[in-house]
Structure 1
Amino acid sequence: MRKSLCLLAVIASLVSLTACSSATSQSQALASPGECADTSAGKASKAISVSGDFGSIPKVTFAKGTLAADATERTIVAKGDGEQVDPGDTTFVEMSIYNAVTGSIVAQTAYGASPATAIVVNDQKYLKGLVRAVECTTVGSRIAAFVTAGDGFGSAGSSDGTVQADQPLVVVADVLSTVHSDAKADGVPQEPVAGMPAVELDTAGRPTVTIPEEPAPADLQVAVLKQGDGAVVQPDAEVIINYQGVNWRTGEVFDESWGNGPTNFQLSAVVKGFSSAIAGQHIGSQVIAVIPADLGYGPSGGNSQAGIEADDTIVFVIDILDASSTTAPAAG
């Protein structure tokens, strides 16, 4: 059975294994924002044969156990004509990862059977070999990469045993879209809605929220601050957003992504009020959501680490930057 490369499972394990690999320090450091690491084609990456349509499961062949290189290599199988994927971007990909020695699949995304997977192009957060494969390519590109053990699982190997110590990888990636680290909602500003918290934006798009001097509403309230014209976000989507969370009771910010770059997650993995505020909106929109406790952290007794009590109403300002949704694979 094909293994799903989802953020909550395999990708998360790749991150932790990168951190504990003894070979990590020998790998290339993360390129500075706007600067690309030197990952060029070589004999090993050129020996990887890839066929099939972009965005669909590829047919990948290589001589298992024979590929070798001193540094990670990548070959652009097909160059896309979209924008460049910069270091720090959050990028939707379809990806297949193989053990270069055994030829077996280590992990594979769903290729249209469920929301596409987003990775942050930052090798302090994600396996270096994945980052080296996609950074500074262009949207619409298909890439074949030979990933050295030092940029993969190193001397630790993978926790599930599919990659043993010091075994390299083969990665084939399709770059579907990208969101730059400084992105912000570009929709048309809308008139404020009476009774909702006031929102002011600085030049970078970071909001300052002012809570009204009145009790919080009992029901979920959602208003569009900027109306985007992108695709409608589906309830099962994985989204790329910027957000800020404010406690209605205190007026204090308890969490935000602004200043750290956009974040990504599946709508099914967050509190109900938050997902309800995003699903059905257009990409490019900015929304504000006032979420009562029963649709927020109330059912779990609050969130003491964030200073949220069980009966607290929370407020989110959200820039919806990109989203993927379930799409059935094309016939044939």
Structure 2
Amino acid sequence: MNRALRLAAPVALAASAALLLAGCTGGDPESTPSPTAAAGECTTAPSGAASESVKVDGDFGQTPTADFTVPLEADELQTTVVIEGDGDATKPGDTANVVITMFNGTSGEQLVSQPATLGIADETLLESFRAAIDCQPYGTRTVTVAPPASLYGETGNESIGVAAGDSVVIVADVVDEYVEPEAEPLPTPSEWTENVPEVTQNGDAAPTITIPDAAPSTELQLKVLEQGDGATVADGDSVTVNYVGINWDTKETFDSSFDRGEPATFTTSGVIPGFGAALVGQQVGTKLIVTIPPELGYGTEESSNGLGGHTLVFYVEILDSAAAG
């Protein structure tokens, strides 16, 4: 499925998530730590002279500063608690909101400072980050000094300014427990009767969709082109569809499962709200067209995929539906 249709990822180190992942040394923005990954045992590291020498200043939960003598080196991973929290201790399997700030141990330069949602004892995370947050009480700030062997190895990570042989200082604020937000109920589309695009079928190929020369609707509206007689799609189901996505304003196709040669499968809650709402309550075998205003698509502001602020039109063929497992 094309990434354009997906919801944005939940809170995680957006542009530098892969910096935290075991086996990663680059900054792939599509890689995110998984709070649901299988948890092992808590990783701990002893306090030592290097980690105790780092003086941290700044409000808890915000970007701190760190003062230390460079180059700061350690033969082994060291973690020191600089603010002891009074909340419940995190435990394997928990998911926590944290603020991670990284400094180059050779130069003292700040490298990264961003909030993240991370699993406790998540074995997909690098050891240094696990040692910084695992089994600490909420409200705790730690300083971890990570030698190269426990972080990016002999190659370093040039994408953020860590050369081979550089140690890294990690300041971690374990803020609070992550609570999955309640999903907003999907809106109900109204019947689309005016300025409906013309749809011309082309056999197994993508249909031709002609957007009229008119202002787009400001509401979520849907027209059933062919009624199916299969199972009814429920909210949260895993649905398989063929679809074409068109930007009403530019009249250009921005996405098409037909062009990729295979249908897409996803949950109704895993796509933009207007698309999910168009599927719920429909039967397998149905062909429909839906117009989605910006607030139910990619928002009213400009977005990285170029679709923010635009009215979208989707032609959809519902091929299958099943309860998400």
Please report the TM-score for the alignment, with normalisation by the length of structure 1: 0.50
Residue-by-residue CA offset, 1:180-216 (whole Å, 9 max, x unaligned): xxx98999xxxxxxxxxxxxxxxxxxxxxxxx97676
Q: Does 1:12 align with 2:18?
A: yes
CA contact (8 A) 2:40 2:122 kept: no
Go from structure 1 to structure 2 and tell me whether the alpha carbon gap of 1:117 and 1:38 turns closer, same or farther (over 3 Å shift): closer
SS at 1:18 equivalent: coil
Deviations 1:22-69 (A, max 9, x none): xxxxxxxxxx84632231211111111112221122221111113323
* Residues 216, 9 of structure 1: alpha-carbon distance in 2 compared, 3 angstrom cutoff: same
8 Å contact from structure 2 (residues 238, 266) kept in 1: yes
**How far did residue 293 of structure 1 move?**
7.8
Pairs within 5 Å for 1:58-73:
58-70=64-76, 72-73=77-78
- Aligned CA distance change for structure 1 residues 69 and 248 (closer, same or farther; 3 Å): closer
Partner of 1:89: 94
Cα 1:275–1:47 change in 2 (3 A) is: farther
Q: Percent sequence identity over matched residues?
A: 22
Q: Taking structure 1 as reference, are residues 166 and 317 closer, same or farther at Cα in structure 2, changes over 3 Å only?
A: farther
Contact 2:96 2:120 survives alignment (8 Å) = yes
Partner of 2:113: 108
Match of 1:134 in 2: 133
Q: What aligned pairs does 1:280-319 form with structure 2 within 5 A after superposition?
A: 311-312=316-317
Check 1:152–1:289 CA distance in 2 against 1; reply closer, same or farther (3 A cut): farther
Q: Which runs of 5+ in 2 are unaligned?
A: 1-10, 27-37, 184-227, 242-264, 283-287, 298-304, 306-313
Bigger-Rg structure (1/2): 2
Q: Which residue of 1 aligns with 2:271?
A: 271
Write the distance in 2 (CA, Å) between the matches of 1:317 and 1:79: 44
> How far apart in 2 are the matches of 1:49 and 1:148?
18
DSSP-derived class of the 1:69 partner:
coil
Q: How does 1:1-332 map to 2 (within 5 A)?
A: 7-15=13-21, 18=24, 33=39, 35-70=41-76, 72-109=77-114, 116-122=115-121, 124-160=123-159, 162-179=161-178, 245-247=237-239, 271-273=271-273, 311-312=316-317
- Bigger relative contact order, structure 1 or 2, given CA contacts below 8 A and separation 6+? 1
Alpha-carbon distance in structure 2 between the residues aligned to 1:156 and 1:293: 51
Q: Could you tell me whether the CA contact under 8 Å between 1:98 and 1:107 is conserved in 2?
A: yes
| Contact preservation (8 Å) 2:42, 2:130 | no
Q: Indicate if the aligned counterparts of 1:39 and 1:73 stay in contact, CA closer than 8 A.
A: yes
1:124 Cα offset (Å): 4.2
Structure 1 stretch 132-141 or stretch 120-129: which is displaced more? 120-129
Give per-residue Cα distances to partners, 1:81-139, cap 9 Å, x unaligned: 22222234332111210011111112111xxxxxx421234564333211211111111
The 1:146/1:272 distance shift into structure 2, 3 A limit, reads: same
Instruction: Give 1:146's aligned amino acid.
Output: V
Measure, in 2, the Cα distance between the counterparts of 1:138 and 1:276. Answer: 39
| Deviation of 1:151 (Å) | 1.8
Question: SS in structure 1 opposite 2:90?
Answer: coil
Shift of 1:316: 10
State the alpha-carbon separation in 2 of the partners of residues 88 and 290 from structure 1. Answer: 35
Q: Residue type matched to 1:48 in 2?
A: V
Q: Which whole-Å CA distance do the structure 2 matches of 1:311 and 1:152 have between them?
A: 46
